[in-house]
Amino acid sequence: MAVTPLADRRRNRRLAADAGLLTVAAAFVLPLAWVVLSALDPRADLRVKIPDGVTLGNFNAILTSEITFTPLLNSLILCGGATLLTVVCAALAAYPLSRFRSRLNRPFLLSILFATSLPITAIMVPVYALFVQVDLIDTLQGTILFFAASQLPFAIWLMKNFMDGVPKELEEAAWTDGAGSLQSLLRIVLPLMGPGVAVVTVFSFVMMWGNFFVPFMLLLTPDQMPASVSINEFFGNRGLVAYGQLAAFSIVYSTPVILLYVLVARRLGGGFALGGAVKG
């Protein structure tokens, strides 16, 4: 048997790899194709098909304050507020953990790591019962506080790892000049770890924006519902499902998180750095 030259073998292998990837991509793209084509289709149904003409009618139909703008605004208040709280608390907490040695650092970090992997879904029933008792049920502030708390362990963990990457020497100079912890954090450390803060912010926001179970359990009034819950109305009360409108709403609702992801992924050179951050 003739030995194939290495270069030839490499090329064949690349073609095989391309073919394999394209097969998976074709399977994965079908549901995405459905949502895009149906949103533009005046007579959308449940399967991927060439639209019967192209229309923006579905978008026009859903872009009302009741169906789209109010839920999106609710999502923004809920997730924006909780993200802000998460990032501020995480940055503050990460600073002593990253900068000072203490006997308590290790047990604290271990607890944080333990909490990052707890299934939050499991505690929603007791959280509901607790919120009824302390009168936080059906309030935006209660939901924001819970959202922030549930995202905090991972945010602290990520933030601390990013902060460890900022060299200590710069701050030591500032300390000798009399700057306190808060000043060095705000003036020196955070500006130097911009990409890290961006990752924590975007990751927290994206997780909350897509979260269905937490607002579904903790909010009751329809007017307060974020888009993740209100989208179910397309099935419930409005009778026959208008699939084109559902698809259009899905696109409007998903666009912000996709844009945020692209923004961060591009700044960090792809991969989101998240794969690396949790890889271990």
Partner 1 sequence: MTPRSLTRALPLTPALVLLLLFLAGPIAYCAWIAFTDLQLTGQAESSFVGFENFRTAFRDEGFLNAVWLTLVFTVVSSLLGQNTLGLALASLMQRASKPVRTLTGGIVITAWVLPEVVAGFLLYAFFRKEGTLNALLDLLHLPSQNWLFTLPILAVSFANVWRGTAFSMLVYSAALNEIPKEITEAAEVDGAGGWRRMWHITLPMIRRSIGTNLMLNTLQTLSVFGLIWVMTRGGPGDKSQTLPLFMYEQAFQNSMIGYGTAVALLLLLVGSVFSVVYMRLLRTEV
CB closer to partner 1 out of 70 and 94: 94
Rounded CA-CA distance 36/202 in Å is 25
CB closer to partner 1 out of 16 and 173: 16
Residue whose structure tokens are 């500032």? 174
> By the 8 A CB rule, do 151 and 93 touch?
no
Sequential DSSP letters for 222-250: GGG--HHHHGGGGTTTTSS--HHHHHHHH
**Least distance (Å) from partner 1 to the CB of residue 177?**
18
CB closer to partner 1 out of 204 and 250: 250
**Least distance (Å) from partner 1 to the CB of residue 145?**
6
CB closer to partner 1 out of 188 and 261: 261
**Least distance (Å) from partner 1 to the CB of residue 210?**
4
**Least distance (Å) from partner 1 to the CB of residue 5?**
13
Rounded CA-CA distance 59/68 in Å is 10
Rounded CA-CA distance 71/69 in Å is 6
CB closer to partner 1 out of 31 and 239: 31
Query: Among candidates 90, 58, 19, 34, which has minimal Cα distance to 249?
Result: 58
HSE-CB at 186 with a 13 A cutoff on CA atoms is 6
**Least distance (Å) from partner 1 to the CB of residue 170?**
18
